[in-house]
Chain A
């Protein structure tokens, strides 16, 4: 017992960390457990920790669609998964292509209204999406973008584009312009210099920001709710369908939530090493 004095400060710090982790992680664990419970276990009070797990919820999620006669949930989960991949993936790719080039323009060129424009783009992130949703909805219906993948990809640019432009801009600014000029003098065209010098050097920042942009688009709720219908529903919105008129299908909703969360989490775990480095690097050099 007597192994030296107890370090109260450290102990307190550790307790705080454990408490916080519990706060964050326990709901996720509970969600996972809930998704593995049959309908009776899910509603049991007091909540059961020990139970017989079942994969029935997942089975119904993936195999039970509207086509089946007695499924109550009016949703097509596999389709929602596909839609989310298309929308989040497409939005990220579009933001990458246009955002990286825009970031280069902001970093290297001088033109009237540059900083105003940059700030305007950033301010897209400040405004709550709800504020502009009604006009957007009306516009979309008018021009036929309602309930289309393209429509969702375009509106998601509001989320992903400012992020990409701002972070990648500071990355490019930290690359000395002489390296590009050296490539120009050595015989490369502008595009060659961009490809050979700028892209490799900015790639950590670009990769990290793309991942973030992807995850934000994946998790987005508002746009999917208002601007999509059955055919283009995204995962987060599809999960809502489990709250039906008569009852809440807790088990399936939990399974749907788990399926929504897992890809994003897995993605971030895989690239988290780059993510921290990528984002702080850009900030420090800016």
Chain B
């Protein structure tokens, strides 16, 4: 149980800047996720928190205690590695017991805890096998079990489910979240899968190129992305972006889509932000679920496009529409009767639109994004 603070944390591998001066405060008992593409610095950050990487500059604090020079063993962290890192000559049971034994717990207590964790993670049948004799799923659960069998200051999960099939992944996600809430231990989860981050974490830090792009709850990140990177990275299907200009039309502000004559009324919430950007090129976007497609033109329709492809995904459908070469993705009912080449009219729920500056990528409307560091 610990509150973790990162101050101006830098990590350089020679000339390469992997982590660039990040600041963050993770609360005690919080389930926090570092989310980002490969190479964004999330694993480096986690390893610095664990003490497995030297900090180039900056500081890390556990509950107000500076831990820069504290060895991993003394930081009291538990880590689940992406590659499992099980001890090959030990059985599953011994692997699970390992972190408890080194701390000198009584054998009886150790045995009980191993039994308990094995039941939760469904490892009871394979307890006496060696890791290489078991399946990948068992190994992954053993790696997780070895991490959560202790009650450390913080759990560190480094993409532990990335090599697991989707069914097992869903199951384990739920179990881990439940366990973390039960023990109220601070947890940090590193992943590149935004669905996982949204499902598990209380707060998420979206990272790219060594910097935090946004830190906030899933709801904040989803509905108020700080920049285009975050907007595009989160959400399935991906965020739709259109180049457009703000124009005055009949006394109202409208977005005119570049390359065609379609206009979308600027919603109330964006009026102030775009008021001094009339005539400039901007990037406006909206999530797939806030567009309604119809196969016949209607009064409120904003854009006419062509059906590019329709995918029936069972519980819902994804329609991809072609507007002058730009592809827009729309969530529909699974029985949408569109065929390739059909014209389709799109109505946007304009109050859900976001506008970004095309040069900086920043959202023109900035909600208070908790970037931490004070």
Contact = CB atoms under 8 A, between A and B. Distances in A.
B229 interface: no
Contacts of B50: 185
Interface in A168-184: 176, 178-179, 181-184
Interface stretch (A43-51, A148-156, A194-202): A194-202
B78 to A, nearest CB: 7
A178 B81 contact: yes
B140 to A, nearest CB: 14
B177 interface: no
Interface in B90-146: 98-99, 102-103, 146
A188 B146 CA distance: 14
A182 B102 contact: no
B85 A178 contact: yes
B220 to A, nearest CB: 32
A183 to B, nearest CB: 8
Nearest to B98: A186
A184 B89 contact: no
Interface stretch (B15-23, B69-77, B336-344): B69-77
B87 A185 contact: no
A64 B23 CA distance: 83
A189 interface: yes
Contacts of B146: 182, 186
A187 B86 contact: no
B29 to A, nearest CB: 20
Contact of A184 (B72, B87, B88): B72
A192 B102 contact: yes
Contact of B73 (A189, A197, A201): A189
B83 A185 contact: no
Given A186-B102, A192-B102, A179 B87 contact: yes
Nearest to A193: B73
Contacts of A197: 87
Contacts of A192: 102
B245 to A, nearest CB: 52
A187 B103 contact: yes
A184 B85 contact: no
Interface SS of B by simple majority: loop
A34 B81 CA distance: 64
Contact of A185 (B79, B86, B88, B103): B79
A182 B80 CA distance: 8
B79 A201 contact: no
A192 to B, nearest CB: 7
Given A188-B102, A196-B87, A201-B88, A182 B79 contact: yes
Nearest to B73: A187
Q: Indicate the member of A187, A189, A201 with the most B CB atoms within 10 Å.
A: A187
Given A176-B83, A178-B83, A185 B72 contact: yes
Contacts of B72: 181, 184-185
Nearest to A177: B85
Interface string A39-64: 00000000000000000000000000
B273 interface: no
B52 interface: yes
A186 B88 contact: no
B99 A186 contact: yes
A179 B88 contact: yes
Given A179-B85, A185-B51, A186-B78, 8 more contacts: A181-B52, A181-B72, A182-B85, A182-B146, A184-B52, A185-B73, A187-B99, A196-B87
What are the 4 tightest A-B residue pairs by CB atom distance, in nearest-first order? A178-B85, A186-B99, A187-B102, A182-B85
20 contacts: A176-B83, A176-B85, A178-B81, A178-B83, A179-B85, A179-B87, A182-B86, A182-B87, A183-B87, A184-B71, A185-B50, A185-B52, A185-B73, A185-B77, A185-B78, A185-B79, A186-B99, A187-B102, A188-B102, A201-B89
